[in-house]
Amino acid sequence: MKAIVIDRFGGPEELHAAQLPDPQPGAGQVRVRVEAVGVNHFDAKLRSGAMASPDTPMPLLLGIEAAGIVDRLGVGVGDVAEGDRVVGFTEGGAYAELAVLATYAVVPEGLEPAVAVSLPVAGEAAQRVLRLLDLRPGETLLVHGASGAVGELATQLAAAAGVKVIGTASPANQERVASLGATPTAYGDGWLDRVRAIAPGGVDAVLDTTGRGVLDDSVELLGGSERLVTIADAAAFTKGITFSSQAERSASALADLVARRAAGELTTTIGRVFPLDEAGAAQELSAGGHAGGKLVLVP
């Protein structure tokens, strides 16, 4: 199959086309003819070597989520058939014509693959951090980066559960954050005062999806770090703040997100769709931190 791989760690210029053997699904897995691949910040971190061990086998195929048409079933798979459209978490990469999915959900008629692929990684992270923050209806949550792929879903899932959400975003994304059910405010200098003006009684919990140095002021806002979770700021480790990184992949949780997205109960914003050959440009845009929504590759 055609794939986009790296032969060594480095910049986006290391991504290049190659022919790889077709992957085979293991027990309980399915192989798909890829229609859409989600681009994640993690991809660029793997590519650069920042998140991979030095003995990672090369060539390395990136990509942790994909949507496509099932073309081969692993042993024991009985919940989908060849020809079904599914979306899920990949095993062994996805910047390619074929990918193996280990945890997947059926994509209903009418939901575009490029939209479905916005759900696995961002949705899992959003569901996980909200579980950790243990929010109750009526409580107030501050989401740093409510306009991002994870923040957008966390905001909506919390708001749907009766939580009052305040969400930070750039000026261009204030209206979009409001449409997700949050009170928007700008990030950057003065955010703490702006949040206090919106919530004079304080907030109950804080989620940081940005990693942009908001932890200390968030502790001050909360009066402690018990209900503060970051998914992006490694400074958490030295500050005794929860850094959540361990994905809890669940087919039923993914199916719930897909069903709610298809029913219009959740929205996800697609920042841009790139041809697979332009994976490097997509990763650069992602790394800039203002992608405007999920970035997607199509083979």
Ligand X SMILES: NC(=O)c1ccc[n+]([C@@H]2O[C@H](COP(=O)([O-])OP(=O)(O)OC[C@H]3O[C@@H](n4cnc5c(N)ncnc54)[C@H](OP(=O)(O)O)[C@@H]3O)[C@@H](O)[C@H]2O)c1
**Interacting residue ranges for ligand X, rule: CB under 6 A:** 41-42, 121-122, 125, 144-145, 147-151, 169-170, 173, 187-188, 209-212, 231-232, 244-245, 247, 289-291
Residue nearest to ligand X (CB): 148
Instruction: For ligand X, give the closer residue by CB, 111 or 121.
Output: 121
Residue 131: CB atoms within 10 Å: 12
Instruction: For ligand X, give the closer residue by CB, 70 or 258.
Output: 258
Peptide bond into 200 cis (omega under 30): no
Instruction: For ligand X, give the closer residue by CB, 34 or 122.
Output: 122
To the nearest whole angstrom, how small is the minimum distance from the Cβ of residue 40 to ligand X?
6
Instruction: For ligand X, give the closer residue by CB, 61 or 232.
Output: 232
Q: Which amino acid belongs to residue 75?
A: V
Alpha-carbon gap, residue 172 to 213, rounded angstroms: 21
To the nearest whole angstrom, how small is the minimum distance from the Cβ of residue 221 to ligand X?
15
To the nearest whole angstrom, how small is the minimum distance from the Cβ of residue 209 to ligand X?
4
Rounded to 5 degrees, φ, ψ at 277 are -60, -20
Alpha-carbon gap, residue 240 to 38, rounded angstroms: 32
To the nearest whole angstrom, how small is the minimum distance from the Cβ of residue 143 to ligand X?
9
Instruction: For ligand X, give the closer residue by CB, 74 or 181.
Output: 181
Alpha-carbon gap, residue 279 to 284, rounded angstroms: 9
Which of the 8 DSSP states describes residue 179?
H
N- to C-terminal Cα distance for the chain?
11
Alpha-carbon gap, residue 226 to 207, rounded angstroms: 12
To the nearest whole angstrom, how small is the minimum distance from the Cβ of residue 158 to ligand X?
15
